[in-house]
Amino acid sequence: MTKPLFLMLSASLLVFATEDTSKAQRDKAMTALYMKNGCSACHGIYAEGIGTTPKLMGRRADILKERLKDLKRGKTRSAFGTVMISFAKALSDDEIDQMAQYLSELKKVPPKETYELLPDEDDGTS
């Protein structure tokens, strides 16, 4: 009796461990892709959004995924949306799935450093 139970437990632990590892690997790959493809330049290093460029962190994965697919087909929803088309086209369908999931799981509240990166009001820059 104890042996099958032990085997069952180890099997389920293995499943959890594998899920954790693959999530960690996906996060690592998606962070690298996000920085390498220049997404951060427009959406911010935390995907927090800059100006009119939409925030992506913590948004629904299914919506992000549909929006990326639309953009890949050239369908935009704002006057400046066309700048995004080539970046969406550079992603494979699998990368779109993973990127949407990754972005949706990012923390909704930007870390404190985000604000520290904003210029001071009167530091002489515009």
List the beta strands (DSSP E) in 1-126: none
Cβ 78 vs Cβ 13: under 8 Å: no
The two tokens of residue 58 are 């913590």
Output phi, psi for 11, to 5 deg. Answer: -65, -45
Residues 46-105 that bind ligand HEC (CB under 6 A): 53-54, 56, 64, 67-68, 76-78, 80-81, 83-84, 87, 91, 99
**Residue 39 interacts with ligand HEC (CB under 6 A): yes or no:** yes
DSSP per-residue codes, 79-105: TTGGGGHHHHHTS-HHHHHHHHHHHHT
Spell out, one character per residue from 9 to 38, where the chain touches ligand HEC: x when CB under 6 A holds, - when not: ----------------------------xx
What is the size of the binding site for ligand HEC (CB under 6 A)?
22
Interface contacts to ligand HEC, rule CB under 6 A: 37-39, 41-43, 53-54, 56, 64, 67-68, 76-78, 80-81, 83-84, 87, 91, 99
